[in-house]
Structure 1
Amino acid sequence: MNIVIIATVASSFLGFRADLIKSLLKQKHTVYAFTSEYSEDQLRLIESSGAIPVTYKLSRGGINPLADIKATYELSKKIKDIAPNMVFSYFSKPVIFGTLAAKLARVPKITGMLEGLGYTFTEQPNQINKKTQIIKKAQVLLYKIALPQLDKIIFLNPDDPYDLLDKYNIKVKRVEVLGGIGLNLEEYPYSNTYPSTPTFIFVARLLAEKGIHDYLAAAKIVKRNYPKTKFIVLGTIDKEALGALTPAELKEFTKQNIVEYPGHVDNVSEWIASSSVFVLPSYYREGVPRSTQEAMAMGRAVITTDVPGCRETVVDGVNGFLVEKWNPQALAEKMIYFIENPDQIKIMGDESYKIAQEKFDADKVNKRLINMLGL
């Protein structure tokens, strides 16, 4: 069977889809990996994974309807040349335009997967700006055109279908909830050694919606009474994003010895292993955050927000805590709980490990996904 998988960035095939491609090849399917953002090295790596890389044009952030119509037509021609039995697209724009292109190419089976609703659907503590409101309206309109053409739409968490399909009255043929995209658990080995000093770690891009400001504010509160506590920040600074942490702000927090920021690191799992508790106070419309799954696989308790996606990773009081978004005080209180009850670090960490084995093992997730794809 010929299967076309449509994404944007080539790195997503290598980082998040390698195990799925392996499983499909094992079933003797031919896999075509469509990418619109790539380097020659990445194309070679996709090829060495056994998939056939195909490049196409699509502006990930652009909102030029004429350019998108032209790109959709060009994409449909490339799909038609392959004559696949199925097209499977993921990420917002590929789900919209990949679906329409597959329909134009008369592909018999078309499935899409939305891994979270993204920035435009993220509730903000202050009013959402006009540009984001316009983009959201355009996105909803395009979803209303494209999603009914799918044979099936897959979401990662149960909140997204309600907040997109039900809220905006978008009719679809069939909905499935996958529950996370899965991890190769061997890459995130369980670790039952913990630092003698309580150490909290934040791993994400340093964006407001990922909760970096709340993490820093909570660290400041905790440090007043527990000055020896360590707070680590791993992630890149995004100078373009609205409300992102600035280099000057970060420098101030490190100068005051509130957080440690080692800069860019390639060994994230080693940093997680040398921490006590993983913290992600995100209010971004996550699918199911991967960084939290990685920390859970390594046996780390989690403090995260009670919002769509994040809440799928924590059973409150069992493997960590769910806190209200935009509430550094509540976050600090849960951090203090672990400082004052250090035995819970391992107890809850072990529960995280069990949940990760059950819910986030790539082998199990890919079996579920392949089953949903009807292959």
Structure 2
Amino acid sequence: MRVLLFANTDWFLWNFKLPLARALRAAGHEVILLSPAGEFGARLRNEGFDWRAFALSRSGIHPLEEARAMRRLLALYRAVRPDLVHHFTIKCVLYGSWAARRANVARVVNSITGLGFALLGTSLKARLIRPVVVGFYRRSLIGTQVIFQNHDNRDTLAAFGALTHASVHVIPGDGVDVEAFCPPQPRVAGANVLMMGRLLWSKGVGVFVEAARIVRAARPNARFLLAGAPDSGNPESVPDAVLEQWRAEGVVEFLGHRSDVRELQQQADIAVLASTQGEGMPRALLEAAACGRPMVATDVPGSRELVEDGVNGLLVPAGDAKALAQAVLALLEAPERACAMGAAARRKVLAELSDDRIIARTLDVYFPLAGGA
């Protein structure tokens, strides 16, 4: 079969969907990868894949420009004639489903990895475009296979009436390479508290900084590390002026975008995610868990599916810097408990969330009558 995977960045395809693409190719299927152009397109081609660039604005809402993008996508689908398409990220889901229906694509799979700014945001822009996005979801998902990464997101979209005529599945996350992301040996325990993610208010960056102030007042040796870059295309991005103030304060070490993710996770003593609006299945925590790191996360969709409070980490209320600080201090002051939680985190990943397990479940959605083959 000819299978097309469509995402809003080539970075997403490279970091999250390369194992799936390899599995499809190994099973004998022709794989086409589609995304806007970026630095990872060449890497995908070097892996032997047919990667194609497709111009798509992540944040654009101009009606004429978006209509042109949809028409271009329809022309591409008619030219390529895929047997199955799998869309990732919101615009790709909405526009891709529209194009696939008109191009008579036999099987359409949509991954809802998060509900995003339009459905979760509180700004005027979010409120204005929400009815349009919900209406688009209702029409786009008819007759498609829809994969959610957590039950909360599924239930929220179902409450909008968008899933009435869709086949719905919950598959927790994109999977993780448990051979690459593994506990380091040997390792000396320290006080490194790591958070990874884009520098967005909705990721809880401000909460993380405030928690760092509280913890370091009690434990000056604690290091709070934040790996991630601003996202200028997102209205939730923390302004540069605020970031400069935080850097000057020095309570948090801003590492910027990093490619040595595994090494950072292995050097961490505690992995934190302070999201205020929820995730699909947070990749940063998933990789930390695979490395045997105890987790502290906010009790929001996605994170609560991975973090079992008191078992492999601690859950705290969203937006509560004091509670986040208290949870971090509790683990720093009880290293044996933290170590046991890290071991439990690794066991959960091995049992439920490895690349192999997630890919097998995804292929069962693609080819249900063939048992994933």
What TM-score results when the alignment is normalised by the length of structure 1? Answer: 0.91
Helix, strand or coil for the counterpart of 1:8?
A: coil
Instruction: Give the Cα–Cα distance (whole angstroms) in 2 for the partners of residues 42 and 239 of structure 1.
Output: 19
CA contact under 8 A between 1:289 and 1:310: conserved in structure 2? yes
Alignment-derived partner of residue 340 in structure 1: 333
Any residues of structure 2 matched to 1:1-375 within 5 Å, and which? 1-35=1-35, 37-39=36-38, 42-122=40-120, 128-150=122-144, 152-168=145-161, 170-191=163-184, 193-238=186-231, 242=235, 244-374=237-367, 375=372
In structure 2, the CA distance between the partners of 1:226 and 1:53, relative to structure 1 (3 Å rule), is closer
CA contact under 8 A between 1:192 and 1:299: conserved in structure 2? no
Please state how far the C-alpha of 1:349 moved relative to its aligned partner: 0.8
Instruction: Give the Cα–Cα distance (whole angstroms) in 2 for the partners of residues 297 and 170 of structure 1.
Output: 32
In structure 2, the CA distance between the partners of 1:138 and 1:317, relative to structure 1 (3 Å rule), is same
Instruction: Give the Cα–Cα distance (whole angstroms) in 2 for the partners of residues 344 and 92 of structure 1.
Output: 39
Helix, strand or coil for the counterpart of 1:148?
A: coil
Further displaced range: 58-67 or 211-220: 58-67
Please state how far the C-alpha of 1:292 moved relative to its aligned partner: 0.6
Deviations 1:344-375, CA, capped at 9 Å, x for gaps: 12111111111121222111111110111125
In structure 2, the CA distance between the partners of 1:140 and 1:17, relative to structure 1 (3 Å rule), is same
CA contact under 8 A between 2:37 and 2:54: conserved in structure 1? no
CA contact under 8 A between 2:6 and 2:92: conserved in structure 1? yes
Aligned residue type for 1:259: V
**Alignment RMSD:** 2.1
Please state how far the C-alpha of 1:192 moved relative to its aligned partner: 5.4
In structure 2, the CA distance between the partners of 1:194 and 1:216, relative to structure 1 (3 Å rule), is farther
Deviations 1:196-216, CA, capped at 9 Å, x for gaps: 442211111121111111111
CA contact under 8 A between 1:121 and 1:285: conserved in structure 2? no
In structure 2, the CA distance between the partners of 1:300 and 1:34, relative to structure 1 (3 Å rule), is same
Helix, strand or coil for the counterpart of 2:329?
A: helix
In structure 2, the CA distance between the partners of 1:336 and 1:29, relative to structure 1 (3 Å rule), is same
Deviations 1:218-269, CA, capped at 9 Å, x for gaps: 1111222222222222221346755644455445445544222344433232
In structure 2, the CA distance between the partners of 1:72 and 1:351, relative to structure 1 (3 Å rule), is same
Deviations 1:311-341, CA, capped at 9 Å, x for gaps: 1111110011111101111111111211221
Instruction: Give the Cα–Cα distance (whole angstroms) in 2 for the partners of residues 290 and 103 of structure 1.
Output: 31
In structure 2, the CA distance between the partners of 1:275 and 1:4, relative to structure 1 (3 Å rule), is closer
Please state how far the C-alpha of 1:275 moved relative to its aligned partner: 1.9
In structure 2, the CA distance between the partners of 1:72 and 1:244, relative to structure 1 (3 Å rule), is closer
In structure 2, the CA distance between the partners of 1:54 and 1:281, relative to structure 1 (3 Å rule), is same
Deviations 1:70-99, CA, capped at 9 Å, x for gaps: 332332222222222212211111111111
Number of aligned residues: 368
CA contact under 8 A between 2:5 and 2:33: conserved in structure 1? yes
CA contact under 8 A between 1:198 and 1:339: conserved in structure 2? yes
Helix, strand or coil for the counterpart of 2:179?
A: helix
What TM-score results when the alignment is normalised by the length of structure 2? Answer: 0.91
Further displaced range: 80-89 or 286-295: 80-89
CA contact under 8 A between 1:76 and 1:105: conserved in structure 2? yes
Please state how far the C-alpha of 1:10 moved relative to its aligned partner: 1.6
CA contact under 8 A between 2:59 and 2:234: conserved in structure 1? no
CA contact under 8 A between 2:33 and 2:51: conserved in structure 1? yes
CA contact under 8 A between 2:194 and 2:224: conserved in structure 1? yes
CA contact under 8 A between 2:143 and 2:167: conserved in structure 1? no
In structure 2, the CA distance between the partners of 1:24 and 1:170, relative to structure 1 (3 Å rule), is closer
Extract unaligned runs of 5+ from structure 2. Answer: none
In structure 2, the CA distance between the partners of 1:250 and 1:94, relative to structure 1 (3 Å rule), is closer
Aligned residue type for 1:289: P
Instruction: Give the Cα–Cα distance (whole angstroms) in 2 for the partners of residues 301 and 134 of structure 1.
Output: 40
Instruction: Give the Cα–Cα distance (whole angstroms) in 2 for the partners of residues 58 and 171 of structure 1.
Output: 28
Extract unaligned runs of 5+ from structure 1. Answer: none
In structure 2, the CA distance between the partners of 1:194 and 1:231, relative to structure 1 (3 Å rule), is farther
Helix, strand or coil for the counterpart of 1:159?
A: helix
Aligned residue type for 2:264: W
